[in-house]
Amino acid sequence: MTTFRNPQQVAPPLAAYSHQAEITGPVRWLVLSGQIGMTLAGEIPEDPIEQLGVALDNITGNLDAAGMNREDLVKLVFYYVGDIDLQQRRQRLGEWLGDLQPCMTVMTVAALATPDLRVEIEALACTEDSPATRRSEQQ
């Protein structure tokens, strides 16, 4: 189904991620719009690391709603506004991902949709497309 690799023909990743993900077999994709650091109550924390945590929680909520989990993630794209502490970012993401190392892209951008936002994350997930996974989704 999904095989993550870091080919020897390419320099090793700079952090805990994979250079490629090969997906084979009948699969079901989930493509998420950029998830921001806004809570269900509409609150946006001032601290960008807290925003990162909320955005990651929002990805978890989307995965749950689709009958998927973090192990189904194949790619994350991060958009950060301004200087956000690298060590704190890596620590928070490492806590959330555990041993998973999906493909990743990190970008620093001038701005996001509103001035309060400092973090946005796009995600792609893929899982086996089977009658059992479709049934669990419909419940």
Q: How far apart are CA 24 and CA 27, in angstroms?
A: 7
Q: Which of 30, 29, 23, 28 is nearest to 1 (CA)?
A: 23
Give pLDDT, residue 135: 44
The per-residue pLDDT string of the chain (139 residues; one tens digit each, 9 = 90 and over) reads: 788 899 899 898 888 889 988 888 899 999 999 999 999 999 999 999 999 999 999 999 999 999 999 999 999 999 999 999 999 999 999 999 999 999 999 999 999 999 999 999 999 999 988 655 544 455 4
* Homologous superfamily (CATH) for 2-11+26-138: RutC-like (3.30.1330.40)
Q: 21 exposed, middle or buried (CB, 10 Å; 0-12, 13-18, 19+)?
A: middle
| Torsion over CA: 40, 44, 45, 47 (sign) | positive
Over residues 14-46, the pLDDT tens digits come to 888 899 888 888 999 999 999 999 999 999 999
The C-alpha torsion from 53 through 61 and 15 to 102, rounded to 10°, is 180
Q: Yes or no: say if 81 and 120 are a contact pair by the CB < 8 Å rule.
A: no
Instruction: Please answer whether residues 35 and 128 qualify as being in contact, where contact means their C-beta atoms are separated by less than 8 angstroms.
Output: no
**Bridge partners, 124 (sequence order):** 31, 75
Domain borders along the chain are: 2-11+26-138
**At 90, which helix (H) or strand (E)?**
helix 86-97
